[in-house]
DNA sequence: TTGTACGCGTTATCAG
DNA sequence: CTGATAACGCGTACAA
């Protein structure tokens, strides 16, 4: 197990000084053509690569972006990561990912860990629990220490940083309008509790869409759940009762799992999708496409979101020291994809 | 934007030497109770955390694991990552993820990048193209440089390193046997070309299962596709013709996408699943569970796989320098999950 | 009990 | 043209 090649080793081998080697490899004009060639040939032969860690220490830059997300087994985050990774790679940045598991303490821990020099900046989507606790000191502290932060998706308005969002309100509006256009009037929504920003905004879009069509908003047709990403048994049971107890001709859900669960229960209740009940869902996954019937969705573009977030962060990282602080919020558009679950026009 | 606190700054502030501060913070008995308390209080107040980069440089250890995978928008890899992350975190390691996009050059680039000091070892699943090209120098070079490497899933036998695999042959056997047990005899398989190890092994398991039941293996019932993770239009068309041209009562597929695509085409061909044709698929995703009918699967346990891979790597990283080199190959068991697609007993 | 010196691998500056 | 030196932030052996 030979040790990695360093400048020092090359220098010793070729009997020159370390700085000569360094300069030669960086094509400094100070070094004679002769020695330069010799050193470069040697370095190439033994595949010398400068040590990143040493460079980071010297430059006080790691060229590494830290990603803090609630979980990874989730199409949306996965796509965002892909987008971030692309953009980062294009700009010669690395990416470190940490998972909070929707746990506040772990999120704090992860941020502290990465803040200790491992990372030049953060891209963050907050844990469920963090939003609930309403405690964002770990984020603001990082910002105070001069760490650029970009938040996406699960954000908090008050934190002073760049943000990337999908236009949840508009997306929901578009989805619900599609239901209205296809004749639905008794439209339910399955959403999250209000402390989850995206749930709140989507609920708002739902209400606005109804109002714009002069349809009365009925409180009992709004189901707010604690869950965000999954749909456990308890959650499933709530949806079941909700669907059984209400007379509806459409369901709008703020995520794919809610939609799939609703579809199953409707089926079990003997209601046909889309003949009896239409479905539109916010979505990022593959499920909607492959379900029978396939589900119409308000599609988020996670990859674009990731790219944008990375772009904003890199901009901050590479801006001149003295530039004025300025925060932007970027919106990523959603797209309505019509599939079988809204094929049937209600009268 | 204040600078991060360092030992030097604390030392200056408290008018002691840097090493005194260092020792005090590490609870060295050399330092008087008095100054120790003073220094620790100060450090805590201003939230001092040692700089990781400096520590890495000093210790020649980064406590970081590099993951190199083909893609991330894929349930299986996502679960593996989760497992790795867990185990890494439990042992105080960080994780850097890079994506090869199934591209050979990018895989090489990523490895070189991370090998330059960013990482103590690698967990790798090879790119499609790499397997095809049969060129693994980037991996062996890393190993030669003393970087521990653990390969999983898409591995190459010849490379001397730890490996984590699922028992593809056994898994396939189990799946196909389930079809045989439920009365199917005209069982097709949709698999990958042989250069993909997992495809090859699963095909082998399929054949062995048939033979153990005395069922003749028919070459025309074996469809080998180039795709691995996705199923594009071309791939879909091939499956369609394959299903149309052959008289079968069951399909076994080596991944979920093939199964879903097959299910669609069978449907379109007027064949009912499971009444006319049963389906069993290798799988990691959520699709199988939610499809109607839901699909029986040979489930891989990606998270376990990730945990095991990380465990092996960390073992190598923390073993004493002089320990003898020894490589282990761990197998992760698969589980058969019976769902609706094999509910119908053929006669 | 505290401080000095050194090294991890690199680059930049300055001296020769 | 080449080399010595300092610095990035830390920990530790050794000296005071």
For residue B224, name the pLDDT band (cuts at 50, 70, 90). very high
What pLDDT is recorded for position B162? 97
Decide: CB of A19 under 7 A of nucleic strand D: yes
b/e map B2-21, b = 16+ CB within 10 Å: eebbebeebbeebebeeebb
Mean pLDDT value across chain B = 92
Name every residue whose Cβ is closer than 8 Å to that of residue A119 and which is 6 or more positions away in sequence: A62, A64, A65, A66, A96, A147
Q: What is the mean pLDDT of residues A258-270?
A: 91
A19–B contact, CB cutoff 8 A: no
Interface check A146 vs B, CB under 8 A: yes
Q: Are residues A69 and A83 in the same domain?
A: yes
Q: What share of chain A is helix, strand, coil (3-state, %, to 5)?
A: 45, 15, 35
Residue B231: inside a domain: yes
Which residues of chain B lie closer than 8 angstroms to A286, CB-CB?
285, 287
Count of C-beta atoms within a 10 Å radius of residue B157: 9
With CA atoms as reference, report the closest residue to A147 among A117, A110, A109, A107. Answer: A117
* Distance of A61 CA from C14 C1′ (whole Å): 25
Whether residues B79 and B173 share a domain: the answer is no
Please provide the size of chain A in residues.
347
pLDDT of residue A196: 85
Question: Is 0.85 surpassed by the pTM of this model?
Answer: yes
- Which chain A residues contact residue B95 at CB under 8 A? 96-98
Q: Are residues B177 and B158 both part of a single domain?
A: no
DSSP codes, B147-171: --EEEESS--TTS-SEEEEE-HHHH
**Cβ of B43 near strand D (distance < 7 A):** no
The pLDDT of residue B15 is above 60: yes
Q: How far is the CA of A31 from the C1' of D14 (A)?
A: 39
Residue B140 shares a structural domain with residue B80: yes
Cis peptide before A195 (omega within 30 of 0): no
Evaluate if residue B12 carries a pLDDT over 60.
yes
Q: Are residues B72 and B184 in the same domain?
A: no
Query: What's the confidence (pLDDT) of residue B126?
Result: 95
Residue A121 belongs to what H/E stretch? strand A121-124
Confidence bin at A230 (pLDDT 50/70/90):
confident
Does residue A342 sit within a domain?
A: no
Whether B99 is covered by a domain: the verdict is yes
Same domain? B314 vs B230: no
> Which CATH number is B120's domain given?
3.40.50.2300
SS3 B222: strand
Residue with CA nearest C1' of nucleotide D12: B19
Q: How many domains does chain A have?
A: 3
pLDDT tens by residue, A38-88: 999 999 999 899 999 999 999 999 999 999 999 998 899 999 999 999 999
C-alpha distance from B2 to closest chain A C-alpha (Å): 6
User: Given a cut of 70, is residue A302 above it in pLDDT?
Assistant: yes
Residue A174 and residue A294 share a domain: yes
Q: Closest by alpha carbon to A307, among A107, A149, A89, A110?
A: A89
Range B220-246 burial, b when 16+ CB lie within 10 A, else e:
ebebbbebbbebeeebbebbbebbeee
Q: Is B82 on the interface with A (CB under 8 A)?
A: yes
Helices A33-45 and A18-25 meet at what angle, rounded to 10? 90
pLDDT tens digits, residue range A53-63?
999 999 999 99
In chain B, the percentage of residues whose pLDDT exceeds 90 is: 73
The tokens of B268 are what?
Answer: 């379109």
pLDDT of residue A113: 86
State whether A281 and A175 are in the same domain.
Answer: yes
Using the beta-carbon criterion (under 8 Å), do B94 and A78 form an inter-chain contact?
A: no
CB pair distance less than 8 Å for A73 and B75: yes
Claim to verify: residue A307 and residue A161 sit in the same structural domain: yes
In a domain, B40, yes or no: yes
Nearest to A255 by CA among A99, A75, A103: A75
Contact across the interface for B73 and A71, Cβ inside 8 Å: no
Q: Round and report the angstrom distance from CA (B252) to C1' (C5).
A: 69
Q: How far apart are CA A136 and CA A138, in angstroms?
A: 5
Residue A95 domain flag: yes
B115 touches strand C (CB under 7 A): no
A248 within a domain of the structure (yes/no): yes
**Which of A98-107, A182-191, B68-77 is predicted most confidently?**
A182-191
* CA distance linking residue B163 with residue B155, whole number of Å: 7
Do A173 and A210 contact (CB within 8 A), yes or no?
A: no
Distance CA A280, CA A297 (A): 5
Is the model's pLDDT at B298 over the cut of 70? yes
Residue B339 domain-assigned?
A: no
For residue B38, pLDDT beyond 60: yes
Which token pair is A294?
């396939």
Instruction: Using alpha carbons only, give the angle B295, B299, B303 rounded to the nearest 5 degrees.
Output: 135
Helix (H, G, I), strand (E, B) or coil at B283: strand
Nucleotide nearest to A30 (CA to C1'): D1
Is B1 inside any structural domain?
A: no
A272 near B CB under 8 A: no
Taking CA–CA distances from A60, the nearest residue in chain B reads: B53
pLDDT higher than 90, residue A225: yes
Judge if the beta carbon of B37 is closer than 7 A to nucleic acid strand C.
no
B105 touches chain A (CB under 8 A): no
Q: What is the pLDDT of residue B321?
A: 65
Contact of A144 with chain B, judged by CB distance below 8 Å, is answered with: yes
Highest mean pLDDT among B10-14, B93-97, B159-163: B159-163
Name the closest residue on chain A to residue B260, using Cα atoms.
A290
Residue A9 has pLDDT above 80, yes or no: yes
- Of the candidates B120, B163, B164, B110, which has an alpha carbon nearest to the alpha carbon of residue B145? B120
Does A221 contact chain B (CB < 8 Å)?
no
Backbone angles phi, psi at B300, to 5 degrees: -90, 150
The mean pLDDT value for A145-151 works out to 92
Quote the domain boundaries for residue B295.
168-300
Hey, which residues does A67 pair with through a beta bridge? Answer: A97, A123
Same domain as A87, residue A44 = no
Say yes or no: B204 and B319 in one domain. no
Whether B272 and B307 map to the same domain: the answer is no
Q: Which of B8, B53, B326 to mutate to test the interface with A (most CBs of A within 10 A)?
A: B53
Give the pLDDT band (50/70/90) at residue B30.
confident
Under 8 Å between Cβ of B148 and B327: no
């Amino acid at each position: 197990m030979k040790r990695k090649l360093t400048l020092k080793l090359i220098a010793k081998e070729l009997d020159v000084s370390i700085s000569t080697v360094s300069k030669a490899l960086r094509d400094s004009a100070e070094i004679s053509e002769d020695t330069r060639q010799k050193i470069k040939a040697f370095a190439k032969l033994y595949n010398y690569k400068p040590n990143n860690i040493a460079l980071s220490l010297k430059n006080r830059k790691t060229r590494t972006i830290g990603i803090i997300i609630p979980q990874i087994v989730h199409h949306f985050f996965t796509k965002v990561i892909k987008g971030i990774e692309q953009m980062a790679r294009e700009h010669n940045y690395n990416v470190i990912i940490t998972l909070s598991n929707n746990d506040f303490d772990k999120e704090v821990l992860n941020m502290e860990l990465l803040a200790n020099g491992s990372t030049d900046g953060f891209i963050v989507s907050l844990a469920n629990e963090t939003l609930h606790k309403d405690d964002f000191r770990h984020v603001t502290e990082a910002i105070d220490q001069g760490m650029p932060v970009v938040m996406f998706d699960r954000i908090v308005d008050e934190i002073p940083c760049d943000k990337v969002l999908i236009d949840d309100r508009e997306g929901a509006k578009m989805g619900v309008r599609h239901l209205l256009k296809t004749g639905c009037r008794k439209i339910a929504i399955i959403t999250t509790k209000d402390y989850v920003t995206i749930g709140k905004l989507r609920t708002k879009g739902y209400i606005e869409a109804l109002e714009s069509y002069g349809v009365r908003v009925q409180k009992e047709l709004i189901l707010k759940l604690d869950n965000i990403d999954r749909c456990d048994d308890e959650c499933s049971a709530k949806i079941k009762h909700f669907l059984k107890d209400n007379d509806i001709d459409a369901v709008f859900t703020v995520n794919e799992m809610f939609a799939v669960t609703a579809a199953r229960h409707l089926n079990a209740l003997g209601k046909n999708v889309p003949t009896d009940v239409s479905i539109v869902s916010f979505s990022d996954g593959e499920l909607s496409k492959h379900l029978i019937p396939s589900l119409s969705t308000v599609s988020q573009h996670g990859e674009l979101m990731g790219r944008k977030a990375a772009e904003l962060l890199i901009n901050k990282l590479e801006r001149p020291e003295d530039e004025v602080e300025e925060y932007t919020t970027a919106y990523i558009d959603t797209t309505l994809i019509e599939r079988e679950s809204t094929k049937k026009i209600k009268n």
